[in-house]
Chains A and B, each alone.
Chain A
């Protein structure tokens, strides 16, 4: 199933949750919608599911208009952040729900339903919990049951709203890997919403980065990390050093110092220089584009994280390999191996 979204606009009062969103999702993709809270990612997901309606714009599934249908007709599996399991039903009945409410003409007989539910519980590896109630399960188990319930109707599309948002860090990591392999197995077009960049980069085939109701960038996890399309994406994904610079006459200035950085093709005016922490190479004083004094050093496994006060007064954090020990008080030169400058 392919999904196409065109020029979607949705306002809540004067707040534009979606401000002209265009998106194409290919068949069998596992797509992440990544952005800070309020970026419109959940609203977009709910509109695709039919739980919300846009003020204007189009949504189509395989070329047919989806907005003409309600949530019930769209045949979309939706997994909620807080599971939304039916508390008064056993795990088995929760998963069977979608099969039991089908119109009588297409409803399966009881034996088929039971077999299908069993199969789904096996798929999420929780068949031994069939007779429990949701309140007797852990968060991770509940979310897997919610997923099995959504899959029971053989959805054309699977949508997951912050599926791991309410779980603790360890369970999240397990479920991430599990979701990726599950997707590999069932191969249904899936979109999941997250504000956790690590989750998006680890699980998805493609990542859509959103901010303030707009899409900032669409690309593979490598693309959005290695070649961010905007200042927002660079700042949001991965840990970056951000310095306010001035571009004019083909030179880049930080404060009143001219930096030996190429300024070809840049728009003159106030800009931002972004460098990944690990792309700042340490050298002897006088080498490189910057010079600074080491303030603090902390060790994180293979890297040392140093807080450096630049000669212009700005403080930055860099990640350097451990082969050359840094100490507080050292004066060092810094050269950005890679950097990007964005206007604004």
Chain B
């Protein structure tokens, strides 16, 4: 108990407290001025907006992947199951370089897309793609165990009670998975907001267009504008904290209804 608390304090709480203290060096007016500047707002908008969009895409595609992995037996299933973890394991910079090469105008995917007039690398679309890439395992790995636990018999039960396939999905399967789906969504979102390594390679990093908040923090630091950096960091911290808090509440809500068996 004592050890846990001390360790958590040293590793997590003290650095966070330091961050807040640093931001108090600014007066409230200065603080708001930094946040309200066009460049900061755009960076935050790019980070949170694209992260949320990417998390939503991951929610849908992740659910489909999970369904296939759990419910079907096909050749190479275990291989695909392992591939899901690649974005977890890959150093993010490697992922960034790989994605950039792939989507650059001469890349395997970039060239055909460029022919269609779609530019991915060095635009916000590139950030979006990178965020999807790094977020997918969060949805898959959160939902997978819950779906495995879900007895196929309940679908048969719903069917024999007269429910159509669609009613079975909407009324039985999705509500049973909902807590896990929401948790997966939140985790994928949190990860995408904080993502730095893989994004900066593909983003192009144009201020106000494709500049993410973590990059702006790094830029401010390199300009020795520490207070500015901390102010942005505090906003990101608060949002992240709210997300984690929401995830916790969701899990507790889910457990109160469906205790672990």
Contacts and interface: CB of A to CB of B under 8 A. Distances in A.
Interface of A: 49-51, 70-72, 74-78, 80, 82, 84-89, 97-98, 100-102, 133, 135, 149-150, 152-153
B4 interface: no
A101 B151 CA distance: 20
Contacts of A133: 257-258
Contacts of B248: none
B163 A82 contact: no
Contact of A97 (B153, B161, B257): B161
B162 A84 contact: no
Interface residues of B, number: 22
B159 A82 contact: no
A250 to B, nearest CB: 56
Contact of A87 (B162, B163, B176): B176
Contacts of A100: 171
B176 A72 contact: no
A134 to B, nearest CB: 9
B163 A97 contact: yes
Given A87-B258, A88-B175, A97-B171, A72 B153 contact: no
B56 to A, nearest CB: 23
Interface in B164-191: 164, 167, 171-172, 175-176, 178
Given A88-B175, A133-B257, A101 B156 contact: no
A79 to B, nearest CB: 9
Interface of B: 151, 153-154, 156-164, 167, 171-172, 175-176, 178, 257-259, 261
Contacts of B160: 49-51, 71-72, 74, 76-78, 150
B161 A101 contact: yes
A129 B183 CA distance: 30
B256 to A, nearest CB: 9
A324 to B, nearest CB: 54
Nearest to B260: A135
A88 B257 contact: yes
A153 B156 contact: no
8 closest cross-chain pairs (CB), A and B: A98-B161, A84-B153, A84-B157, A101-B163, A78-B160, A88-B175, A71-B159, A71-B160
A101 B154 contact: no
Given A86-B172, A87-B258, A88-B176, A80 B153 contact: yes
Contacts of A85: 154, 157
A101 B158 CA distance: 9
A101 B162 contact: yes
5 contacts: A78-B160, A84-B153, A84-B154, A89-B175, A101-B161
A135 B259 contact: yes
Contacts of A70: 159
B156 A72 contact: no
